[in-house]
Amino acid sequence: MTDRIIFVCVLLLAGVYFWGTAQIPSLELGDPLGPKAFPQMLGVGLLVGAAMLLAEILRDRKKTKAGEGDSGALSWEPHHWVVVAVVAWTALYVVLFEPLGYMLATLIYLLGLTGYFNRGRHLMNGLSCVLFVAISYSAFTKLLGVNLARGIIPF
């Protein structure tokens, strides 16, 4: 049952993604592929992944004997709370990205994740998060010329 839900969600996500890709304006100047090429490739990747999942669902259905119950029945396990918490933490990161800025929002996000998944290694977590934020911010702004959200930090 879970795999069917994931299949439907991936199809819905691909549909919304393709709709969003269609909204990207394309200019006649510049890159011959245009700005839609890479997002469309990602959308095709989503559809390929959905097709692979569907093939697996159909293959498993043939293997299931008629007398057996639904082996894919939904059951809530304790580790599912971790997935829910990570999704909620990521949603909070997205909401706070603009007001706090890239550096601060990303640092808080990564510190929260590494604090949970790499417990007890505070110095290593802190250093790796600070270094990642500093290096990625420099790479995006200096090397690639991308304007990231400044937020409450003045640089």
Residue-level pLDDT at 71:
55
> In terms of C-beta density within 10 A (0-12 exposed, 13-18 middle, 19 or more buried), how is residue 102 classed?
buried
pTM of the model: 0.62
Residue 152 lies in a domain: no
Range of the domain at 122: 79-143
Shared domain for 14 and 58, answered yes or no, is yes
Shared domain for 39 and 84, answered yes or no, is no
Residue-level pLDDT at 97:
94
Residue-level pLDDT at 72:
56
Shared domain for 59 and 100, answered yes or no, is no
Where does a domain end: 20, 39, 63? 63
Query: Is residue 70 scored above 60 in pLDDT?
Result: no
Residue 91 lies in a domain: yes
Residue-level pLDDT at 25:
81
Residue 27 lies in a domain: yes
* Residues 5-38 pLDDT 10s: 888 999 999 999 999 988 888 776 666 667 778 8
Domain count, the chain: 2
Mean pLDDT, rounded, for 49-75: 75
Quick one: DSSP state of residue 42?
Answer: H
Cβ atoms of 117 and 82 within 8 Å: the answer is: no
Quick one: DSSP state of residue 129?
Answer: H
Mean pLDDT, rounded, for 78-89: 91
Q: Which of 74, 85, 151, 70 is nearest to 116 (CA)?
A: 85
Shared domain for 131 and 105, answered yes or no, is yes
